[in-house]
């Protein structure tokens, strides 16, 4: 099995309608939270910034939560702007759904496909693994990994998965040498 790995190279942008300018994109930048305690109640926001005009907005992560209900380690992470916690918050499907947000992964991920020796016998058995939940169309991914056109992909590979439907779950396929498939 040849391992191919999909991983993010940075955090994705957010689809975001700016209130001050026509931009439709926001970034978390380096990633910052803001926490505000009011008595025993706590609000935590993730800060996002318009990529065009820098207007900052706050996305609620916790609203009026009792301080005791939040894991102290988590609370420390919010105060320290822990990059892992920023990523986990931004990539949380529930968080995105709650705010009606979509992620823009364009240019934010890479395919790590180790170069294969020329003597590697065809057909190749490839296992694609997702280190981060980057939704990619398998045919695009495979075309990139094999260095061929997308239209060539269905002729060159065997797999049970839908090639056109973006997915974030690992899969395997068998690839034939160029020109050898019928």
Stretch that binds Zn ion, among 11-19, 93-101, 127-135, 164-172 (CB under 5 A): 11-19
Q: Does 56 bind Zn ion (CB under 5 A)?
A: no
The interface with Zn ion within residues 14-53 (CB under 5 A) comprises 18, 20-21, 23, 50, 52-53
Does residue 134 bind Zn ion (CB under 5 A)? no
CA nearest to 128, candidates 87, 117, 140, 120: 140
* Binding piece for Zn ion, criterion CB under 5 A, among 10-18, 34-42, 56-64, 142-150: 10-18
Long-range contacts of 64-70 (CB under 8 A, 24+ apart): 65/41, 66/40, 66/41, 66/42, 67/37, 67/40, 67/41, 67/42, 68/40, 70/42
Identity of the residue, 21 or 116, whose beta carbon is nearer to Zn ion in the bound complex: 21
Q: Given the complex with Zn ion, which of 50 and 61 has the nearer CB atom?
A: 50
* Contacts with Zn ion, residue ranges (CB under 5 A): 18, 20-21, 23, 50, 52-53, 55
């Amino acid at each position: 099995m040849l391992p191919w790995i999909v991983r993010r190279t940075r955090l994705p942008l957010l689809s975001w309608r700016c209130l001050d300018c026509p931009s439709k994109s926001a970034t978390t930048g380096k990633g910052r939270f803001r926490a505000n305690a009011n008595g025993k109640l706590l609000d935590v926001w993730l800060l996002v910034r318009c990529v065009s005009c820098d207007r900052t907005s706050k996305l609620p992560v916790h609203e009026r939560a009792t301080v005791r209900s939040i894991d102290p380690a988590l609370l420390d992470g919010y105060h320290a702007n822990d990059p892992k916690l920023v990523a986990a918050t931004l990539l949380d499907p529930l968080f995105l759904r709650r705010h009606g947000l979509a992620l823009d992964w364009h240019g934010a991920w890479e395919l790590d496909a180790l170069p294969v020796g020329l003597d590697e016998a065809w057909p190749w058995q490839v296992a694609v693994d997702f280190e981060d939940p980057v939704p990619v169309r398998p045919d695009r991914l495979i075309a990139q990994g094999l260095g061929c056109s997308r239209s060539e992909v269905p002729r060159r590979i065997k797999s049970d998965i839908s090639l056109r439907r973006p997915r974030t779950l690992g899969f395997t396929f068998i690839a034939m040498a160029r020109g050898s498939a019928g």
